[in-house]
A = this chain, B = another copy of it.
Amino acid sequence: MNKYIRLAQGNGGQENNELIQKVFYKAFKNEILEKNEDAAIIHDGELAFSTDSFTVSPLFFAGADIGKLAVCGTCNDLAMMGAKPKYLTCSVVIEEGFAVSDLKSIVRSMKEELEINGAIVVGGDTKVVPKGSVDKIFINTTGIGEIIKKGISSNNITTEDLILVNRDIGCHGATIFVAREEIEMSSSLKSDCASLYPQVKALIDADIKITALRDATRGGVSAVLNEWAKQSDICIEVQELKLPISDEVRGICEILGFEPSELANEGTFVLAIKKEDATRAVEILKRFENSSKACIIAKVTHKNKQRVILNSLWGTSRFLDTPSGELLPRIC
* Whole-angstrom CA separation of A6 from B32 in the bound complex: 41
Do B87 and A32 touch (CB < 8 A)?
yes
A132 — which chain B residues lie within 8 A by C-beta? 132, 135
Which one of A20, A51, A103, A123 has the greatest number of beta carbons of chain B within 10 Å? A123
- Which B-chain residue is minimally distant from A112 (CB atoms)? B27
Do B89 and A49 touch (CB < 8 A)?
yes
Q: With contacts A9-B94, A134-B138, A140-B142 known, what are 19 further pairs, Cβ within 8 A? A: A6-B128, A9-B126, A10-B128, A19-B126, A24-B126, A27-B108, A28-B90, A28-B110, A28-B111, A33-B123, A40-B89, A40-B123, A49-B122, A51-B123, A51-B140, A53-B92, A129-B330, A132-B132, A142-B142
- Which B-chain residue is minimally distant from A120 (CB atoms)? B30
A52 within 8 A of partner (CB) = yes
* Whole-angstrom CA separation of A55 from B108 in the bound complex: 25
Do B107 and A27 touch (CB < 8 A)?
yes
Do A91 and B5 touch (CB < 8 A)?
no
A27 — which chain B residues lie within 8 A by C-beta? 107-108, 110-111
Do A97 and B144 touch (CB < 8 A)?
no
A122 — which chain B residues lie within 8 A by C-beta? 30, 32-33, 36, 40, 42, 49
**A133 with B7: in contact, given A27-B111, A89-B51 (CB under 8 Å)?**
no
* Whole-angstrom CA separation of A238 from B8 in the bound complex: 54
- Which B-chain residue is minimally distant from A331 (CB atoms)? B127
Mask of A15-26 contacts with B, CB within 8 angstroms, 1/0: 010011001100
Do B53 and A120 touch (CB < 8 A)?
no
* Whole-angstrom CA separation of A212 from B91 in the bound complex: 24
- Which B-chain residue is minimally distant from A123 (CB atoms)? B40
Counting from the closest, the 3 A-B pairs by CB-CB distance are A10-B128, A51-B89, A40-B122
